[in-house]
């Protein structure tokens, strides 16, 4: 069948403008989330208006999808230059949005967050032009920026979204539960789709633990702990993300066992996961970072479905009361190490290494947990939200 017509439209009543700073070729977790989500729908039914991260490595772009660059990020080159150019783009982005609104005459907008600058501009544009919109929130807004100078602005933007959005989509059930209990807001979860079949082939395993994705305020302490814990275990710690080795060194990741890797082709990245004995999930404790506990406790790392399908054993370091840890407990598909003691962590991982075969059931359980991220299930949630 023609790939352009054998999928449902994103919205039944007309064209959708999907607004996001994160879409291929940008090598971010959110880019992959959006790519996999949109891949379930007829590409003639939506247009992606996106950002481009100059200085970042590139990943392949989807076929058939029409995407237009309306925002340039200099974040990977210079923060000062980035902030300067962003100031001027506050005025240029609405001009682009106005043009594409005129050209494609969308019936609805989807505005992807986690970038306050972006969602502020796009939600104002939607209201000014009387366009219905659905925010797709990967992170909480107020809670995620609780310690930021943007806290007051975040509250205003969240109020604007909550009061005016057609519907609200969130990344996880943890966020959905928080918004329902704290704000009496009903949302629907669009989980990160895992398109590939689980890897049933168990390849020879290398003595390494792997971390995918950014290292920053929500997780850098826990990632550093694991890196230090395995130094004495003759294990390699590999990381794949957009940060340079120098920036990671500044966060404390400078142990001799630490190695940066990058795979522009997804099949090579998935093979790296499959070849690893362990894959790492990590979140900081509330008192060791400037992130609100309610934000930390609702995070569901976008790399988790890839880990679940990898045949590697998942290790999580962080509080056991967070939603991510509860998910691993519910499906019995990972090892939870709720400790900041590096020696304790090292002994726990040493036990996993020495008894590796005895923990293989965790990888089998992980395959069952993957059903939650099935494209058909998430697609139906999107259709319900949009229509």
**What would the pLDDT profile of 168-187 be if each residue is shown by its tens digit?**
999 999 999 999 999 999 99
Beta carbons within 8 Å of 160's beta carbon, 6+ residues apart: 123, 124, 127
pLDDT tens digit string along 124-176? 999 999 999 999 999 999 998 888 888 899 999 999 999 999 999 999 999 99
Mean pLDDT over the full length of the chain: 91
What is the C-alpha end-to-end distance of the chain, expressed in Å?
Answer: 25
199 compared with 179, residue with greater pLDDT? 179
Tell me which residue has tokens 């726990």: 348
pTM of the model: 0.86
What would be the CATH architecture of the domain defined by 206-371? 3-Layer(aba) Sandwich (3.40)
Q: Which residue has the higher pLDDT, 55 or 23?
A: 23
Q: In this structure, are residues 340 and 346 in contact, taking their beta carbons and an 8 Å threshold?
A: no
What tens digit of pLDDT does each residue of 284-317 get? 999 999 899 999 999 999 899 999 999 999 999 9
Residue with more model confidence, 28 or 138: 138
Question: Which of 244, 254, 285, 299 lies closest to 29 in space, CA to CA?
Answer: 299
Cα 118 from Cα 120, distance rounded (Å): 5
Q: For 98-109, what is the mean pLDDT?
A: 97
- Decide if 16-193 and 206-371 have a common fold: yes
**Domain residue extents for the chain:** 16-193, 206-371
The better pLDDT of the pair 247, 69 is held by 69
The pLDDT score that the predictor gives to residue 117 is 92
Task: Please choose, from the candidates 58, 59, 56, 57, the residue with its C-alpha nearest in 3D space to the C-alpha of residue 76.
Answer: 56
Pairwise pLDDT comparison (36 vs 257), residue with the higher score? 36
Average pLDDT over residues 15-33: 90
pLDDT grade for 200, boundaries at 50, 70 and 90: low
Rounded CA-CA distance 1/7 in Å is: 10
Between CA 312 and CA 36 the distance in angstroms is 22
Which residue blocks in 17-78 are alpha helix, DSSP H?
Answer: 29-38
Quickly state the pLDDT bin for 201 (edges 50, 70, 90).
low
**Could you tell me which of 313, 357, 366, 371 has the C-alpha nearest to residue 337?**
313
Residue 203 has pLDDT above 80, yes or no: no
Q: Is the per-residue pLDDT at 1 higher than 50? A: no
pLDDT tens track for 58-89: 888 888 999 999 999 887 778 788 888 888 99
* pLDDT recorded at residue 61: 86
CB 236 within 8 A of CB 259: yes
Strand residue runs (E) in the chain: 16-20, 46-53, 67-73, 108-113, 133-137, 169-170, 188-189, 206-212, 236-240, 258-260, 276-282, 313-317, 335-337
Residue 295 is classified by DSSP as H
d(CA 212, CA 186): 31
Tokens at 106, concatenated? 């969308």
- Of 205 and 222, the structure prediction assigns the larger pLDDT to 222
Other C-beta atoms lying within 10 Å of the C-beta of residue 129: 15
Q: How distant, in Å, are the alpha carbons of 260, 271, 288, 289 from that of 240?
A: 6, 13, 24, 22
Q: Which CATH class is domain 16-193?
A: alpha beta
What pLDDT is stored for residue 140 in this prediction?
93
Q: State the pLDDT at residue 202.
A: 63
pLDDT tens-digit map of 337-377: 999 999 999 999 999 999 999 999 999 999 889 989 999 99
Helix (H) or strand (E) holding 376: helix 375-386
């Amino acid at each position: 069948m023609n790939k352009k017509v054998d999928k449902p439209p994103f919205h039944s009543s007309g064209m959708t403008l999907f607004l996001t700073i994160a879409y291929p070729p940008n090598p971010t977790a959110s880019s992959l989330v959006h790519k996999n989500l949109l891949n379930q729908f007829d590409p003639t039914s939506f247009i992606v208006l996106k950002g481009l991260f100059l200085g970042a490595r590139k990943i392949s772009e989807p076929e058939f999808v029409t995407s237009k660059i309306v925002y340039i990020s200099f974040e990977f080159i210079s923060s000062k230059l980035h902030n300067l150019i962003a100031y001027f783009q506050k005025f240029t982005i609405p001009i682009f949005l106005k043009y594409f609104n005129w050209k494609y005459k969308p019936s609805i907008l989807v505005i992807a967050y986690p970038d306050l600058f972006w969602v502020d501009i796009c939600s104002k544009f939607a209201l000014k032009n009387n366009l219905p919109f659905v925010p797709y929130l990967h992170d909480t807004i107020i809670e995620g920026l609780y310690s930021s100078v943007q806290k007051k602005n975040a509250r205003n933007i969240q109020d604007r979204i909550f009061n005016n959005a057609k519907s609200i989509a969130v990344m996880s059930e943890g966020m959905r539960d928080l918004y329902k209990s704290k704000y009496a807001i009903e949302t629907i979860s669009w989980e990160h789709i895992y398109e590939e079949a689980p890897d049933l082939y168990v390849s020879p395993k290398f003595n390494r633990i792997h971390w995918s994705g950014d290292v920053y305020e929500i997780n850098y302490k826990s990632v550093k702990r694991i890196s230090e814990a395995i130094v004495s275990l003759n294990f390699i710690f590999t990381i794949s993300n957009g940060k340079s080795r120098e920036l990671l060194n500044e966060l404390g990741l400078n142990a001799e066992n630490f190695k940066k890797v990058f795979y522009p082709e997804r099949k090579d990245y998935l093979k790296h996961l499959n070849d690893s004995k362990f894959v790492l999930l990590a979140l900081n404790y509330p008192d060791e970072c400037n992130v609100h506990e309610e934000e930390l406790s609702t995070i569901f790392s976008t790399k988790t479905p890839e880990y679940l399908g990898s045949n590697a054993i998942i290790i999580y370091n962080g509080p056991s009361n967070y939603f991510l840890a509860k998910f691993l407990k519910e499906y019995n598909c990972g090892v939870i190490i709720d400790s900041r003691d590096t020696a304790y962590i090292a002994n726990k991982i040493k036990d996993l290494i020495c008894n590796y075969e005895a923990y293989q059931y965790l990888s089998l359980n992980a395959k069952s947990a993957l059903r939650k991220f099935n494209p058909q299930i998430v697609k139906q949630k999107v259709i319900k939200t949009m229509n």
